[in-house]
C-alpha cells in the first residue's frame, strides 16, 4: 500500500491541507489506488527535521513510499502513478500533442497558481482570523483575477467540461483552486466558465478527500469507499 506523507489539520473554519499533497491524493483517489496517510505536523514544513529531509531533501510534502521506493514532488509522483496504474488514464497515451497540452496546463497551474497566487490566500487560513495578513491575501486574489483565471476561462471555451477533453492531469491541480476558494469565497464575477468548472470539480467523487468539509480522520478512509 502506498503511504502519502502530507500535512492536514482541522480548524473551526474547515480542514486545511497541503495543496501539493492534495494533488497527489486526487490522483490516488481518481485511480482507486489503495493508500494511507501519514499526517505530519504542519510545523515540519518550517522546521524541516532530519527525518523529513531524509525523504524529501527540500523538507516539503508530498512524498510517497511505495514499498522501499520514496518519490517526492507532486508532478513526479503523478507521472509515476500514471505509469504504474494505467486506468483511468490521466495523460493521453498516444497523441503527443495532447500529452504536451495536458503537461503544459499542469505546469502552469502548478507554478503560476499553486506556487504563485494561491499561497498568499491559503496560508493565512492556517492562522487565527485576527492574525491573517489581509493585504497579502488580497494581492493573491488580484493575481488570480488578472492572470490565472482569465487563462483558465479561455481554456474552458466552447462549453468544455474539463480543460483538455476528458478529466486529466491538467484538471488535478485546479482541484486545489476549488478547495481554496471554497474556503475563501472569493467572488468569481466575470469568470462564469471558471465558476461552473470549479463546481464540477467539487462534484467529483475524489474531491471529498480534500474538501474543507471532510475532517482529517474521515478523509483517511475515503479511498476504500
pLDDT of residue 20: 95
DSSP letter assigned to residue 186: -
The closest of 178, 188, 172, 184 to 211, measured between CA atoms, is 178
**How would you classify residue 159: left for phi > 0, otherwise alpha for psi between -120 and 50, otherwise beta?**
left
Question: How far apart are the C-alpha atoms of 4 and 69, rounded to whole Å?
Answer: 12
Cell numbers standing for residue 44: 515540519
The distance from CA 106 to its chain's CA centroid, rounded to whole angstroms, is 11
Q: Burial of 129 by CB count in 10 Å (0-12 exposed, 13-18 middle, 19+ buried)?
A: exposed
The distance from CA 89 to its chain's CA centroid, rounded to whole angstroms, is 18
Going residue by residue through the chain, which has 225 residues, state the pLDDT in tens, using 9 for 90 and above: 999 999 999 998 889 999 999 999 999 999 999 999 999 887 887 788 888 888 888 888 999 999 999 999 999 999 999 999 989 999 998 899 999 999 999 999 999 999 999 999 999 999 999 999 999 999 999 999 999 999 999 999 878 899 999 999 999 999 999 999 999 999 999 999 999 999 999 999 999 999 999 999 887 655 545
Question: How far apart are the C-alpha atoms of 116 and 120, rounded to whole Å?
Answer: 8
Q: Are 137 and 121 in contact (CB under 8 A)?
A: yes
Task: Map out the domains of the chain with their CATH numbers.
Answer: 2-89+207-224 (3.40.30.10), 96-204 (1.20.1050.10)
Q: Are 33 and 209 in contact (CB under 8 A)?
A: no
Cell numbers standing for residue 222: 475515503
Question: How far apart are the C-alpha atoms of 110 and 107, rounded to whole Å?
Answer: 5
Amino acid at each position: 500500500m502506498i503511504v502519502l506523507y502530507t500535512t492536514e489539520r482541522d480548524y473551526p473554519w474547515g480542514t486545511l491541507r497541503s495543496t501539493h499533497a492534495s494533488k497527489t491524493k486526487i490522483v490516488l483517489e481518481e485511480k482507486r489506488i489503495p493508500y494511507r496517510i501519514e499526517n505530519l505536523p504542519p510545523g515540519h514544513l518550517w522546521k524541516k527535521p532530519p527525518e523529513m529531509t531524509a525523504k524529501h531533501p527540500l523538507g516539503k510534502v508530498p512524498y510517497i513510499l511505495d514499498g522501499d521506493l520514496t518519490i517526492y514532488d507532486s508532478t513526479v509522483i503523478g507521472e509515476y502513478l500514471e505509469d504504474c496504474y494505467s486506468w483511468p488514464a490521466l495523460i493521453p497515451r498516444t497523441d503527443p500533442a495532447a500529452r504536451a497540452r495536458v503537461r503544459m496546463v499542469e505546469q502552469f497551474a502548478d507554478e503560476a497558481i499553486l506556487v504563485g497566487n494561491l499561497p498568499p490566500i491559503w496560508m493565512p487560513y492556517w492562522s487565527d482570523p485576527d492574525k491573517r495578513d489581509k493585504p497579502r491575501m488580497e494581492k493573491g486574489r488580484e493575481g488570480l483575477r488578472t492572470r490565472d483565471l482569465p487563462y483558465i476561462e479561455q481554456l474552458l471555451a466552447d462549453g468544455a467540461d474539463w480543460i483538455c477533453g476528458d478529466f486529466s492531469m491538467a484538471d488535478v491541480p485546479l482541484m486545489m483552486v476549488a478547495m481554496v476558494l471554497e474556503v475563501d469565497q472569493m467572488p468569481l464575477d466575470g469568470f462564469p466558465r471558471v465558476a461552473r468548472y470549479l463546481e464540477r470539480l467539487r462534484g467529483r467523487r475524489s474531491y471529498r478527500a480534500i474538501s474543507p468539509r471532510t475532517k482529517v480522520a474521515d478523509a483517511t478512509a475515503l479511498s476504500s469507499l
